């Protein structure tokens, strides 16, 4: 599959570089609007350089959408297999990047003193015994970076966790496997604790805070999503967004936290979020790094930051190319999902990032 994608990319690059250049000259980048995140070009006919990506996307039975925006202009917006632009997608763990952004807003407003704040500040009742002292010392940053040291509540423990009567207590009851702040172990429980902290610190539900602090400046309204038995919105899973809302969120990070004239997130939070602080050893690759709720890899020679959700939900941000790419996919739990996720990665790398990098002025590829 990857060789086929690479051959298609090479052909498309040779044929269409001039076409994309002319398209870019006709579509001067606009000022950054709040919503939509990027203005639409003539997306009924995507630039020839990206036509191969659209063709490959149409051939993937699990792919629901593909959006490509560069320099504030939407170059591709395609929906597949009956999906419509207005259809909400369960973005799965893309929600972890959204929760990270909300923590950034809360820190900037002084609602959370800093990322070094120990979680004992917020969970004194749950962590009240002398033996809980090491857990009380876990910091907000440890949760953002998946380095709490607690036994994971994802993968093998996920079912037992979400069936438990109190999700926060279940997470905090897990044994410490490593000292906090030392080793990454991916766990949705960590971001759920962040949602609980946001609820306490802001005195609002995570949804209410997200509407006011994030969605409203970006020009949309978030749909309610799953809550735990205590009413805390699920931190890090099952959030529902349209692909255009995902694109607006990616554009926010590309534009250093600005939406139009509004500084939603401090630029320093974006920079801190994209500092590698751990490396995932699970799955089929060992080059995935992790920051504050964002993954990092080099794709087609370009440093790429991405929000990643189960099944093929992605927001890719490539700052050097002023590029944001969004995909949504089926969340069905069958054997094809891993192959599909790898194929989506290859499509974005070989048929979107690579040709746009090759077409960029002074390209060294």
Print pLDDT tens along the chain (365 aa).
555 554 444 444 443 443 333 333 333 333 333 344 466 555 555 689 999 999 999 999 999 999 999 999 999 999 999 999 999 999 999 999 999 999 999 999 999 999 999 999 999 999 999 999 999 999 999 999 999 999 999 988 999 999 999 999 999 999 999 999 999 999 999 999 999 999 999 999 999 999 999 999 999 999 999 999 999 999 999 999 999 999 999 999 999 999 999 999 999 999 999 999 999 765 555 679 999 999 999 999 999 999 999 999 999 999 999 999 999 999 987 767 667 888 999 999 999 999 999 998 876 66
> What pTM value is reported for the model?
0.88
Phi/psi-derived region of residue 228, left when phi > 0, alpha when psi is between -120 and 50, beta in every other case? beta
Give backbone dihedrals phi and psi of 7, rounded to 5 degrees, phi first. Answer: -65, -45
d(CA 78, CA 59): 13
Nearest to 356 by CA among 329, 319, 312: 319
Q: Enumerate residues 6+ apart whose C-beta is below 8 A from 308.
A: 93, 94, 295, 314
Judge whether 20 and 49 are in contact, CB under 8 Å. yes
d(CA 339, CA 344): 9
Within a 13 Å sphere around the CA of 172, how many CA atoms are in the beta-carbon half? 28
d(CA 132, CA 272): 29
Phi/psi-derived region of residue 301, left when phi > 0, alpha when psi is between -120 and 50, beta in every other case? left
Over its C-alpha atoms, the chain yields an Rg (Å, rounded) of: 20
Q: Quick check: helix, strand or coil at residue 233?
A: strand
Kindly state the tokens that stand for 233: 């919105």
């Amino acid at each position: 599959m990857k060789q086929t994608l690479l051959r298609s990319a090479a052909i498309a690059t040779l044929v269409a570089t001039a076409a994309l250049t002319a398209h870019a000259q006709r579509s001067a980048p606009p000022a950054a609007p709040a919503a939509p995140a990027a203005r639409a070009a003539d997306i009924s006919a995507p630039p020839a350089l990206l036509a191969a990506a659209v063709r490959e996307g149409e051939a993937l039975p699990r792919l629901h959408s593909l959006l490509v925006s560069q320099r504030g202009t939407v170059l591709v917006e395609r929906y597949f297999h009956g999906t419509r632009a207005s259809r909400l997608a369960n973005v799965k763990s893309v929600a972890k990047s959204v929760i990270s952004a909300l923590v950034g807003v809360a820190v900037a407003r002084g609602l959370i003193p800093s990322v070094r704040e120990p979680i004992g500040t917020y969970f004194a009742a749950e962590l009240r015994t002398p033996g809980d002292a090491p857990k009380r010392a876990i910091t907000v940053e440890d949760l953002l970076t998946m380095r709490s040291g607690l036994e994971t509540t994802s993968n093998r423990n996920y079912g037992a966790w979400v069936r438990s009567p109190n999700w926060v207590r279940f997470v905090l009851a897990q044994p410490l496997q490593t000292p906090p702040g030392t080793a990454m172990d991916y766990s949705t429980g960590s971001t759920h604790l962040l949602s609980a902290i946001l609820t306490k610190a802001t005195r609002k539900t995570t949804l209410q805070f997200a509407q006011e602090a994030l969605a409203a400046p970006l020009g949309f309204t978030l749909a309610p999503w799953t809550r735990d038995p205590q009413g805390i919105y699920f931190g890090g899973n099952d959030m529902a967004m349209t692909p255009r809302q995902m694109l607006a969120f990616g554009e926010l990070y590309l534009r250093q936290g600005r939406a139009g004239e509004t500084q939603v997130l401090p630029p320093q939070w974006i920079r801190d979020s994209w500092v590698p602080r751990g490396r995932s050893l699970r799955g089929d690759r060992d080059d995935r790094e992790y920051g504050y709720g964002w993954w990092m890899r080099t794709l087609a020679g370009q440093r790429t930051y991405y929000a990643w959700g189960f099944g093929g939900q992605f927001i890719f941000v490539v700052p050097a190319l002023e590029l944001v790419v969004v995909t949504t996919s089926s969340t069905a739990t069958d054997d094809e999902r891993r192959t599909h996720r790898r194929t989506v990665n290859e499509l974005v790398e070989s048929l979107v990032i690579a040709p746009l990098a090759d077409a960029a002025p002074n390209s060294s590829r």
